[in-house]
């Protein structure tokens, strides 16, 4: 039914032969990792499983067990890959920014983070995963993500000291929480607490409100 006659293939039957995977473990490993990241980005963690990844990678799931030790190992590999996230979005002039006040800096960082997350489906999916499940799997991934975020913030901050009299760590955490939830809600439902988050005009309004909040505490 599937296979034509056993003939000397000249017809599309040859396709099966040409599709044949070259024996290259490294390439296969990379294909699996890419498939996993793509699948997580596009479909979310709901239907993220061995079978789905293998299907997308175009290989047998057995290879995932062999090369990554199962889904857990694969997820860990994704986490390790998140290290590139911070590298990829550190502008060269990070150290030479002409930011005068801590408020200037935090406003800038908030807007940068908002934009970065808005355009990074993988990070968004991981974030949603984090707040939805509490397995060891997602905990490891979460750790990698938050470490990357912390490193990014640290690099961007440089040596500027926060003002005294405010618990900057707590305030920043709340601001980041707001950013993350805005992005999640916007991507998922297109709105948050009655505020539409679809058009770029919508996002400008949200960004302005965010700026006001940050400026309100840090001046």
Partner DNA sequence: CCCCGCTGTCACCAATCGGTGAGTAGCGGG
Partner DNA sequence: CCCGCTACTCACCGATTGGTGACAGCGGGG
Binding residues for DNA (CB under 7 A): 20-25, 27-28, 47, 49-52, 58-63, 65-66, 70-71
Task: Kindly indicate which of the ranges 12-20, 53-61, 83-91, 182-190 contains the residues binding a second copy, using the contact rule CB under 8 A.
Answer: 182-190
137 binds, among DNA, a second copy, none (CB under 5 to 8 A by kind): none
Least Å distance between CB 43 and DNA?
10
Nearer to DNA, 72 or 204 (CB): 72
Least Å distance between CB 19 and DNA?
8
Phi, psi of 214 (to 5 degrees): -65, -45
Least Å distance between CB 201 and a second copy?
11
41 binds, among a second copy, DNA, none (CB under 5 to 8 A by kind): none
Phi, psi of 58 (to 5 degrees): 75, 25
SS3 assignment for the chain: CCCCCCCCCCCCCHHHHHCCCCCCHHHHHHHHHHHHHHHHHHHCCCCCCHHHHHHHHCCCHHHHHHHHCCHHHHHHHHHHHCHHHHHHCCCHHHHHCCCCCHHHHHHHHHHHHHHHHHCCHHHHHHHHHHCCCCCHHHHHHHHHHHHHHHHHHHHHHCCCCCCCCCCHHHHHHHHHHHHHHHHHHHHHHCEECCEECCCHHHHHHHHHHHHHHHHHHHC
62 binds, among a second copy, DNA, none (CB under 5 to 8 A by kind): DNA
Nearer to a second copy, 90 or 168 (CB): 168
Nearer to a second copy, 31 or 196 (CB): 196
CA 177 to chain centre: 16
Least Å distance between CB 117 and a second copy?
12
Least Å distance between CB 158 and a second copy?
18
Nearer to a second copy, 45 or 85 (CB): 45
Counting every residue, how long is the chain?
219
182 binds, among DNA, a second copy, none (CB under 5 to 8 A by kind): a second copy
CA-to-CA distance for 103 and 57, rounded, in angstroms?
Answer: 46
198 binds a second copy (CB under 8 A): no
Residues of this chain that bind a second copy (CB under 8 A): 44-46, 128-134, 139, 142, 146, 149-150, 166-167, 169-178, 180-182, 184-185, 187-189, 191-195, 205-206, 208-210, 212-213, 215-217
């Amino acid at each position: 039914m599937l296979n034509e006659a056993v003939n000397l293939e000249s017809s599309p039957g040859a396709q099966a032969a040409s599709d044949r995977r070259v024996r290259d473990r490294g390439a296969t490993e990379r294909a699996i990792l890419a498939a996993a990241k793509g699948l997580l980005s596009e479909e979310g963690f709901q239907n993220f499983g061995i079978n789905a990844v293998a299907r997308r990678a175009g290989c047998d799931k057995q290879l995932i067990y062999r090369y990554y030790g199962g889904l857990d190992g694969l997820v860990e590999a994704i986490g390790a890959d998140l290290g590139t996230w911070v590298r990829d979005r550190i502008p060269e002039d990070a150290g030479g920014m002409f930011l005068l006040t801590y408020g200037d800096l935090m406003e800038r960082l908030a807007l940068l983070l908002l934009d970065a997350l808005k355009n990074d489906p993988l990070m968004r999916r991981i974030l949603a995963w984090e707040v939805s499940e509490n397995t060891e799997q997602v905990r490891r991934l979460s750790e990698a993500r938050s470490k990357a975020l912390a490193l990014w913030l640290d690099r961007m901050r440089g040596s500027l000291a926060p003002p005294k009299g405010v618990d900057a760590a707590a305030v920043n955490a709340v601001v980041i929480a707001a950013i993350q939830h805005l992005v999640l809600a916007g991507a998922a439902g297109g709105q948050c607490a009655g505020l539409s988050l679809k058009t770029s005009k919508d996002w400008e309004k949200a960004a302005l409100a965010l700026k006001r909040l940050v400026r309100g505490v840090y001046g």
